[in-house]
Amino acid sequence: GDSVTQMEGPVTLSEEAFLTINCTYTATGYPSLFWYVQYPGEGLQLLLKATKADDKGSNKGFEATYRKETTSFHLEKGSVQVSDSAVYFCALSVIGNEKLTFGTGTRLTIIP
């Protein structure tokens, strides 16, 4: 079946540090890949997406590249801010399958 393996948290970084959250996947078909962010007490917000190999999704300074050869979609940001503190979920869906498969989530805390 489909699965997403995500870097375990929690992750604590200082403001302006470089962020990487690892995400790898297995899929029964050709997946679209997503990063969602969940701020405390809120629902999930789509952060970025990529729908084919070598696509780079980007938003709010975050980037992730769809790497088919390594089945990875790692999330990166060059300089994190306190406001980036949240839980980040990597997810995939496969054409013809309406389900989103989520990773376990990574809790990120940025300290001033």
Q: Which amino acid is at 108?
A: L
DSSP per position, 15-57: TT--EEE-EEEE-SS-EEEEEEEE-TTS-EEEEEEE-STT-EE
- Least distance from other proteins to the Cβ atom of residue 39, Å: 10
> From the centroid of its chain, how far is CA 39?
14
- Least distance from other proteins to the Cβ atom of residue 89, Å: 6
Instruction: List the one residue out of 31, 9, 51, 35 whose CA is nearest residue 102.
Output: 35
- Least distance from other proteins to the Cβ atom of residue 57, Å: 10
Residue (105 or 110) nearer to other proteins, CB: 105
Residue (1 or 112) nearer to other proteins, CB: 1
Residues that bind other proteins (CB under 8 A): 31-32, 34, 36, 42-46, 49, 51, 89, 93-100, 102-105, 107
Q: What is the C-alpha separation between 40 and 43, in angstroms, rounded?
A: 9
Residue (17 or 95) nearer to other proteins, CB: 95
- Least distance from other proteins to the Cβ atom of residue 47, Å: 10
